[in-house]
Structure 1
Amino acid sequence: MVTSRLQIYILAFCASLLLASSSSHGHSRQHKKHEAMFIFGDSVFDVGNNNYMNSTTSFQAIFFPYGETFFSYPTGRFSDGRLIPDFIAEYAKLPYSPPFLQPGLNNYTYGVNFASAGAGSLAETHQGYVIDLKTQLCQFKKVVKQLRHKLGHAEAKTFLSKAVYLISIGNNDYFAPFTSNSSLFESHSHKEFVGLVIGNLKKVIKVIYTVFFFQHIQRN
């Protein structure tokens, strides 16, 4: 319950930042200028990435009742309607962030969604069936390269620094070892295991946050 409430508070804070930024700059910038959202996580945020995975996965929301109360068809969202990022996008007057793996997608000016249902902070969580957090970060790096090529280094840096980043992940890391043959619990104490999950998440946030990130992308 505490974790759920904390996630809601964090998401509400992110939404308020996005709305405040949009309202404070709306009169001074051209209409084509806007903020973007980059979304990482699991089924709480996945808008259909798992639908486009090369391997067969059991974590796909491709049947009813998923989607029936808003989109009228299953979109890949593990909901009968919209997800939290969808509501935030609506309030900020932004289009819904598309799944990164959507075929033909090459426009990231409003951001993109990397989330994968069943994913975790650890690569071992549902490995082979999902897009883990580290892989989501690699996909984000590809987007950054494309934006730098399209906008130039300085403008891309400004664009990304003003973007909103939503992350919801970790629940599957603690649940998966009970439903699979994972040896992580056996080889680590509970405290060590929590440290692995939090440590991986911390690394990803640090890479996204630091200015050094742009230099790293340039060299690779």
Structure 2
Amino acid sequence: MGLKVVVAEDSYLIREGLRSLLSGQDELDLVAAVSTLPELLAAVRRHAPDVVVTDVRMPPGDSDEGVRAAESFAREYPELGVVVLSQYVEPEWALRLFDPSAVRRAYLLKERVGDVEHLGAAIRAVAGGGSMLDPAVVQALVGAQVKHERSPLSRLTPREKQVLGLMATGLSNAAIAGRLVLTERAVEKHITSVLSKLDLDPEDGQIHRRVRAVLAYLSAVEG
């Protein structure tokens, strides 16, 4: 028996595409595919899934239903992982999704869902208690803050900014080292420097906390 997954997406073509992708993965068990927020809530109650993959906008309001569902699940089903899909980079939604009290969250752009390995990695990450943030969202958040001269992000070197972006997406130190062609020891030094410059705890080694810490920081300076 694989991880039980519920999909919520109002677009028929995308919903069926997700059904096809996930049904082909032996470690995943797609138990329901729905199109509205009420149907999603009912499917979670009925099937008790391990992970929900949901569009951020759905009927009845077509606004932020996916994020509101994640906020509700954090209270009612704290062990439930949620992967939110969005067509655009929306920093506000990402910041809400990764509220400091939330875990088991991923925020991906819809253009990436055709990559079954990427989507599967996000599902497995949230099911295991971790988090994942689409690199494009990280780049938008970091890029917006670097423009502010008083932002501590301006203290970072170009390499440290690269490391920060990869760290926030949920990559391990080893994965970051591979991506940047560095040793793990060099990556550890960069991360320690980044967290120090951003006044974040360098001893926090949990990936989902690192994601939330970066987002919380960016939220504070954005305000």
Q: TM-score range by the shorter chain?
A: 0.3 to 0.5
Identify the structure with the greater helix proportion.
2
Identify the structure with the greater strand proportion.
2
Structure with bigger RCO (C-alpha 8 Å, 6+ apart): 1
Structure 2 length normalisation: TM-score?
0.33
